[in-house]
Amino acid sequence: MARKKAPKKEYVEGAFIDQPITETLEQNYMPYAMSVIISRAIPEIDGFKPSHRKLLYTMYKMGLLSGSRTKSANVVGQTMKLNPHGDAAIYDTMVRLSRGYDALLLPYVDSKGNFGKVFSRDMAWAASRYTEVKLDPICRELFADIEKDPVDFVPNYDNSMKEPTLLPTTFPNVLVNANQGIAVGMASNICSFNLKEVCDTAIAVIQNGDHHIASTLLAPDFSQGGQLIYDAEALNKIYETGRGSFRLRAKYRFLEKENIIEIYEIPYTTTVEAIIDKVIELSKSGRFREITDIRDETDLSGLRIAIDVKRGTDPDRLMARLFRLTTLEDTFSCNFNILVGSNPRVMGVREILNEWTSFRCDCVRRRIGYDLAHMKERLHLLEGLRVILLDIDKAIAIIKNTEEDSEVVPNLMIGFGIDEVQAEYIAEIKLRTLNRELVLKRLEEAENLQSEIDRLSEILRSEAKLVDVILKELAEIRDRYASPRRTEILYEDVLPAEEPEQVADYAVTAFLTKEGYFKKITAQSLRMASEQRLKEGDEIVSAIPTFNRADLLVFTTAKQVYKAKLHEFDDVKASAMGVFLPGKLEMAEEETPVAIVPTTDYEGWLCFFYENGKAARVPLSAYATKTNRKKLTGAYGDKSPLVAITDGEELVVLTSSSGKRLLVNPAMIPEKQSRDTQGVQVLTLSPRHRLVSVEPYTEGMFENPSRYRSKALPAAGANLSDKDRDRFQLKL
**DSSP for 524-557?**
HHHHH-SS----TT--EEEEEEEETT-EEEEEET
* Residues in the chain, overall count: 732
| Per-residue pLDDT tens over the stretch 352-394 | 999 999 999 999 999 999 999 999 998 988 888 888 877 888 8
Residue 403's CATH number: 1.10.268.10
Is 157 found in the same domain as 64?
yes
Q: Tell me what pLDDT residue 2 has.
A: 47
Nearest-angstrom CA–CA distance, 594 and 586? 15
Q: Which residue has the higher pLDDT, 184 or 306?
A: 306
Task: Write the pLDDT tens digit of every residue in 198-224.
Answer: 999 999 999 999 999 999 999 999 999
Do residues 52 and 135 make contact, with C-beta atoms less than 8 angstroms apart? no
In a domain, 730, yes or no: no
514 inside domain:
no
The answer to whether the beta carbons of residues 37 and 184 sit under 8 Å apart is yes
Catalytic residue at 130? yes
* Maximal CA-CA distance, the chain: 147
Average pLDDT on 456-474 reads 93
Here the CATH number for the domain that contains residue 314 is 3.30.1360.40
Q: Are strands 488-490 and 227-229 parallel, antiparallel or unpaired?
A: parallel
b (16+ CB within 10 A) / e for 450-460: eeebeebeebe
Q: Tell whether 653 is covered by a domain.
A: no
Task: Give the rounded percent of residues in the chain with a pLDDT score beyond 70.
Answer: 95
The reply to whether 569 falls in a domain is no
How much is the mean pLDDT over the chain?
A: 89
- Non-local (6+) Cβ contacts of 514 within 8 A are 538, 539, 540, 541
The verdict on 321 and 378 lying in the same domain is no
The mean-pLDDT minimum among 291-305, 394-408, 425-439 falls in 425-439
Please choose, from the candidates 551, 511, 569, 510, the residue with its C-alpha nearest in 3D space to the C-alpha of residue 535.
511
Do 320 and 379 fall within a single domain? no
Residue 425 lies in a domain: yes
Mean pLDDT value across residues 168-174 = 95
The last residue of one of the domains, among 481, 511, 530, is: 481
pLDDT band at 732 (very low <50, low <70, confident <90, very high): very low
Binned at pLDDT 50, 70 and 90, residue 13 comes out as low
Residues 288 and 389 in one domain: no
Q: What angle do CA 205, 208, 211 make, to 5 degrees?
A: 65
- Domain containing 297 equals 251-327
DSSP tally for the chain: helices H, then strands E: 19, 34
Please, which pLDDT band fits residue 729 given cuts at 50, 70 and 90? low
Reported as a single tens digit per residue, the pLDDT across 37-91 is 887 889 999 999 999 999 999 999 999 998 899 999 999 999 999 988 889 999 9
Q: Are residues 322 and 379 in the same domain?
A: no
Considering the domain architecture, whether residues 165 and 46 belong to the same structural domain is answered as yes
Is 0.75 surpassed by the pTM of this model? no
pLDDT per position as a tens digit, 518-565: 999 988 888 877 688 888 888 888 888 998 889 999 999 999 999 988
Q: Are residues 407 and 323 in the same domain?
A: no
Note whether residue 348 is domain-resident.
Answer: no
Residue of higher predicted confidence among 686 and 96:
96
Per-residue pLDDT at 728: 64
158 in the same domain as 52: yes
- For the cut 90, the answer to whether the pLDDT of residue 18 exceeds it is no
If asked whether residues 156 and 92 sit together in one domain, one would say yes
**Segment 223-232, tens digit of pLDDT:** 999 999 999 9
The pLDDT > 90 percentage for the chain reads 55
156 lies in a domain?
A: yes
Q: Side by side, which strands form the sheet with 642-646?
A: 642-646, 605-610, 614-619, 680-681
- Based on the domain organization, do 312 and 425 belong to the same domain? no
Same domain, 311 and 387: no
List, for residues 284-314, the tens digit of each pLDDT value.
877 888 899 999 999 888 899 999 998 888 8
Helices (H), 243-308: 272-284
Give the per-residue pLDDT at 471: 95
> What total number of domains does the chain contain?
3
d(CA 58, CA 61): 5
Query: Domain end: 481, 508, 536, which one?
Result: 481
314 shares its domain with 382: no
Give the amino acid at 69: R
Tell me, what CATH number does 162's domain have?
Answer: 3.90.199.10
Answer whether residue 1 shows pLDDT above 50. Answer: no
Which residue in 29, 32, 130, 157 is the catalytic one?
Answer: 130
Residues 6+ positions from 635 with CB-CB distance below 8 Å: 555, 556, 559, 560, 561, 623, 675, 676
Q: Is residue 715 part of a domain?
A: no
Tell me the pLDDT tens digit for each residue of 98-121: 999 999 999 999 999 999 999 998
pLDDT of residue 699: 85
Last residue of a domain, one of 169, 186, 217: 169
Q: What is the pLDDT of residue 285?
A: 74
